[in-house]
Amino acid sequence: MNPPPDDLKTYLHKLDQGTLSPPEREALLEALQRLANQPDEDALLELDLSALVALGNPHSPLSRDEADELFNRVTSPEATRRRPPASSWFKRRAFRRLAGLTTAAAALCALWLWWRTPAPIEHLDPTIKSAQAKLALSLEVFLGERADGQAIVSHTLKPQARVSKEQHLLFRYRLGQPAWLALSARRDGAPAKLLWQSEGAHQAGDFELSNQGQALSMPLRDYPPGPLRITLWAARSPQHWEEIISGLPCTACSSDQLLLTVSH
């Protein structure tokens, strides 16, 4: 196998060492041009192109001071933790980075405040569902009437339906996955009232809300006339469920609600 011509090897070596003079640089380019025009395949294959990338820096190799400074930066213990900003780097990117950092800091503060601020159930927006809240949940509310001490379903209530103080409400729900449940009622200007909470995780399916096997019946006599919001909450874990019970916000929870109007 033919090695690359000696002059080429010498020039490449000098190029790699940063000691190639301008005339030698010209000679190197000429030699390379010759090799490309009349390729000696063996010599070409043997040629270490890796050194050629140094040609990319034709006029301004790093000065000794620049090289020393760079070496100290990249090998200092701080290098593993933080990259010291070069002045040019700072000038070029400072504003963009600063804007990014400010936004990130503001978002973190907002997140921290939101997480730390206890909100009673009445402050919760039940429509808030996070990306995690994929629990399929639906609540059906029925109007019930008492007959022989038993609450009997009369008909399904639609949103904004009017109900009277003498009537009762009964509930059914459909759950896509096992979850911990809680039911709350809230009227305008008053804190939410926890009506019911599950004892452990409920299995998925279509169920009537009940207490110890007996259908949960909610009398409306305790509620003054006005809007009444009934919300069923579902949590994936007991921890999230505890948040609901304690009146803390739970964006990882699912909910379904119905707004009714209580009349005289």
Partner 1 sequence: MTSSRDDSQERIAKRDALVSCVKAAQTGDPCAQRELFDRYQHRIMGYCMLSANYDRELAKDLMQEILTRVFTQLHTLEHPERFEPWLWTIASRITATQSSKRQRYRKLLEAWSLEREVLLTQEDKLAHEQRLNHISDLLDGVEDETLHRILSMFYREPPSTTRQIAKRLGIPHGTVTVKIRRFRLAIKKQLIELFVSEQIQ
For 99, 214, 217, 219, 264, the CA distances from 149, given in Å and listed in that order, are 66, 12, 11, 13, 23
d(C-alpha 243, C-alpha 229), whole Å: 19
Q: What is the greatest pairwise CA distance in the chain?
A: 112
Does position 47 bind partner 1 by CB under 8 A?
Answer: yes
Runs of H (alpha helix) within the chain = 6-17, 22-37, 41-46, 64-75, 87-116, 238-245
If the CB atoms of residues 49 and 113 are measured against partner 1, the closer one turns out to be 49
Of the residues 57, 117, 150, 263, which one makes contact with partner 1 according to CB under 8 A: 57
**The two three-digit tokens of residue 61, written as one number:** 């190799």
Among 21, 74, 117, 238, binds partner 1 (CB under 8 A): 74
Touching partner 1, residues 80-109 (CB under 8 A): 80, 83, 86, 88-89, 92
Distance CA 200, CA 214 (A): 17
Using CB under 8 A as the binding rule, the residues of this chain from 135 to 174 that contact partner 1 are none
Question: How many residues does the structure list for the chain?
Answer: 264
User: Is residue 54 a contact point for partner 1 (CB under 8 A)?
Assistant: yes
Residues 143, 52: Cα–Cα separation, whole Å? 85
16 or 145, CB closer to partner 1? 16
Cα(45)–Cα(121) distance, integer angstroms: 75
* Touching partner 1, residues 6-35 (CB under 8 A): 15-18, 25, 29, 32-33, 35
Q: How far apart are the C-alpha atoms of 52 and 30, rounded to whole Å? A: 14
For the bound state, the minimum distance from the C-beta of residue 20 to partner 1, rounded and expressed in Å, comes to 9
Beta carbon nearer to partner 1, 90 or 114:
90
Q: Does 65 bind partner 1 (CB under 8 A)?
A: no
Binding-site ranges for partner 1 (CB under 8 A): 1, 3, 15-18, 25, 29, 32-33, 35-36, 39, 41, 44-47, 49-58, 60-62, 66-67, 70-71, 73-75, 79-80, 83, 86, 88-89, 92
